[in-house]
Amino acid sequence: MRLVLFASLLASTAALADLTLVNEAVAGGKTRHVTLSVKATKTFFEMKETDGPTRTMLRDADAKKLFIIDHDKKVVLIITEQDSKQAEARQAALKAQLQAQLDKMPPEQRARMESSMAGQLEGKLPTYTYEKKKTPARKVSGFSCQDYLIKRDGQAAGEGCFASWKDVGISADEFKSIMLNAMPKTPGNQMAQGLEAAEGAPGFPVWRQHVGGDGQVMAETTLKSLSKTALGAEKFELPKDYAQKSMADAMPGNRPPPAK
CB 69, CB 238: distance < 8 Å: yes
The DSSP call for residue 239 is -
- Please state, in angstroms and rounded to a whole number, the distance separating the CA atoms of residues 1 and 20: 26
Convert the pLDDT of each residue in 179-200 to its tens digit: 776 665 444 444 444 455 446 7
Give the pLDDT band (50/70/90) at residue 257: low
Half-sphere exposure of 101 (CA within 13 A, CB side): 9
3-state secondary structure of 168: helix
Answer whether residue 259 is part of any domain.
Answer: no
pLDDT at 41: 85
- Domain containing 156 equals 2-254
Q: What's the rounded mean pLDDT across residues 83-99? A: 70
Answer whether residue 240 is part of any domain.
Answer: yes
Convert the pLDDT of each residue in 160-185 to its tens digit: 999 999 999 988 888 877 777 666 54
- Please state, in angstroms and rounded to a whole number, the distance separating the CA atoms of residues 43 and 48: 16
Answer whether residue 131 is part of any domain.
Answer: yes
pLDDT at 4: 38
The DSSP call for residue 215 is S
Answer whether residue 260 is part of any domain.
Answer: no
Answer whether residue 162 is part of any domain.
Answer: yes
The answer on pLDDT for 94 being more than 80 is: no
pLDDT at 33: 94
Q: What is the CATH number of the domain that holds 193?
A: 2.50.20.10
pLDDT at 226: 93
Q: What's the rounded mean pLDDT across residues 101-105? A: 81
Give the pLDDT band (50/70/90) at residue 81: confident
Question: Pairing state of beta strands 243-246 and 75-80?
Answer: parallel
Answer whether residue 168 is part of any domain.
Answer: yes
Answer whether residue 102 is part of any domain.
Answer: yes
- Please state, in angstroms and rounded to a whole number, the distance separating the CA atoms of residues 169 and 58: 26
Q: How many domains does the chain contain in total? A: 1
- Please state, in angstroms and rounded to a whole number, the distance separating the CA atoms of residues 32 and 51: 9
- Please state, in angstroms and rounded to a whole number, the distance separating the CA atoms of residues 103 and 155: 28
CB 204, CB 197: distance < 8 Å: yes
Alpha helices in the chain (DSSP H): 2-8, 81-103, 107-116, 165-168, 172-182, 190-193, 247-250
